[in-house]
């Protein structure tokens, strides 16, 4: 295997100069840079990445930790994050936590022992002790981890208002909402707060069914079916995400309810795949690409030890389909 001194000899330069080129240190003429890379190509030389990482005390590796990329929202978010991080010169390590605190703690440990430079997380396990160490280069997406970790989120409260007011404008009075557990502190909980406040402002009774993100698909279907069994007079449903909305559409069809004639329905997320497969679904669109870009930008600030805000909110919009 060729060594650094072989490259230096082929390029007719000193080892120090070759090392400066490889580590992008100090002023270097383009002619010198070209000579080094030409020599590397001729010799088929590959730098010792591990040694360079130890020298720089960074890996240029970012961990993305999400519940599961099988979910359309997190899958699309991961694609945007990976692409933007790559454009910024980072490589990516992706982890599906699957609500496993030990798995999540393992990724955090990688950060603490410098195997990754930073983390972008979208998981629910707030109780993990490592999250409460201040100053860690971590950014959370749509999750509240602690007071120190900045949160990137869409304007969930505004989204809740848009969806609920839309259903009321369409004439619905018996409107039911699905959301996560009320004791889970997440920005998505603001969709529920907005729904309940709008309903009360119109002298309507809010009804929220809690659907835990981490339950099995079969258990989720059971909860969603209960909406129709316990409230056969339901006129509209504001689902907290598009996958719930898609399942509600299927359940309603099986029960002989036609959308939108017998039931109005609005989802939330607006991923590209759902808009392609269910173009009729009225939904609140989160700017997933912009959420990814902002997450990477804020993480770079954390890596540079610059101050960051506690929360960054990005605007949402209502995608008008035929279901609501």
Confidence of residue 254 (pLDDT cuts 50, 70, 90): very high
pTM for the full predicted model: 0.80
Domains of the chain, with CATH numbers?
Answer: 4-56 (1.10.260.40), 61-153+289-314 (3.40.50.2300), 156-286 (3.40.50.2300)
The pLDDT assigned to 59 comes to: 75
- The predicted model gives 60-86 an average pLDDT of 90
Q: What is the side-by-side strand order in the sheet with 91-96?
A: 91-96, 61-66, 118-121, 138-141, 151-154, 311-314
Q: Which residue has the higher pLDDT, 14 or 69?
A: 14
Q: Minimum mean pLDDT among 48-62, 212-226, 230-244: which range?
A: 48-62
Question: Lowest-pLDDT range, 10-14, 164-168, 193-197?
Answer: 10-14
Residue 65 above 50 pLDDT?
yes
pLDDT band per the 50, 70, 90 thresholds, residue 242? very high
- Model confidence at 309: pLDDT above 50: yes
CA distances from 136 to 47, 53, 74, 189, 308 (A): 29, 19, 23, 25, 12
Which stretches of 99-252 are assigned E, i.e. beta strand? 118-121, 138-141, 151-154, 175-179, 207-210, 236-238
Q: What is the mean pLDDT of residues 298-304?
A: 93
Task: Please give the average per-residue pLDDT across 106-127, as a whole number.
Answer: 75
177 in helix, strand or coil?
A: strand
Q: What is the mean pLDDT of residues 272-296?
A: 95
Tokens of 147: 């007071």
Identify the pLDDT of residue 260. 94
- Rounded to 10 degrees, the C-alpha dihedral 303/306/311/315 comes to -80
Instruction: Please say whether the beta carbons of 123 and 63 come within 8 A.
Output: no
**Stretch 257-284: mean pLDDT, rounded?**
94
């Amino acid at each position: 295997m060729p060594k650094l001194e072989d490259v230096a000899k082929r390029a007719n330069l000193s080892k120090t100069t070759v090392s400066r080129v490889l580590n992008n240190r100090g002023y270097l003429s383009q002619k010198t840079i070209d000579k080094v890379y030409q020599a590397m190509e001729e010799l088929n030389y590959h730098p010792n990445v591990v040694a360079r990482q130890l020298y720089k005390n960074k890996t240029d590796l970012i961990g993305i930790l999400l519940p599961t990329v099988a979910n359309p929202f997190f899958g699309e978010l991961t694609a945007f994050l990976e692409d933007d991080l790559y454009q910024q010169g980072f490589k990516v390590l992706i982890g599906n936590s699957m609500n496993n605190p030990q798995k999540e703690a393992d990724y955090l440990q990688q950060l603490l022992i410098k195997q990754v430079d930073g983390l972008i997380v979208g998981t629910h396990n707030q109780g993990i002790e490592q999250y409460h160490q201040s100053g860690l280069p971590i950014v959370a997406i749509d999750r509240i981890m602690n007071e120190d970790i900045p949160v990137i989120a869409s304007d969930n409260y505004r989204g809740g208002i848009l969806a609920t007011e839309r259903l009321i404008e369409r004439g619905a009075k018996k409107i039911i909402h699905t959301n996560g557990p009320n004791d889970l502190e997440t920005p998505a909980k603001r969709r529920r707060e907005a729904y309940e406040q709008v309903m009360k402002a119109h002298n309507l009774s809010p009804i929220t069914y809690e659907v835990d993100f981490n339950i099995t698909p079969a258990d989720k279907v059971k909860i969603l079916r209960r909406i129709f069994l316990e409230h056969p007079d339901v006129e509209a449903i504001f689902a907290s995400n598009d996958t719930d909305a898609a399942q509600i559409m299927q359940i309603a069809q099986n029960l002989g309810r036609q959308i939108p004639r017998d039931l109005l329905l609005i989802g939330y997320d607006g991923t590209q795949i759902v808009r392609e497969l269910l173009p009729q679904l009225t939904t609140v669109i989160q700017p997933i690409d912009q959420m990814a870009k902002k997450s990477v930008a804020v993480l770079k600030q954390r890596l540079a030890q610059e101050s960051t805000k506690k929360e960054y909110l990005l605007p949402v919009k209502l995608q008008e389909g035929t279901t609501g």
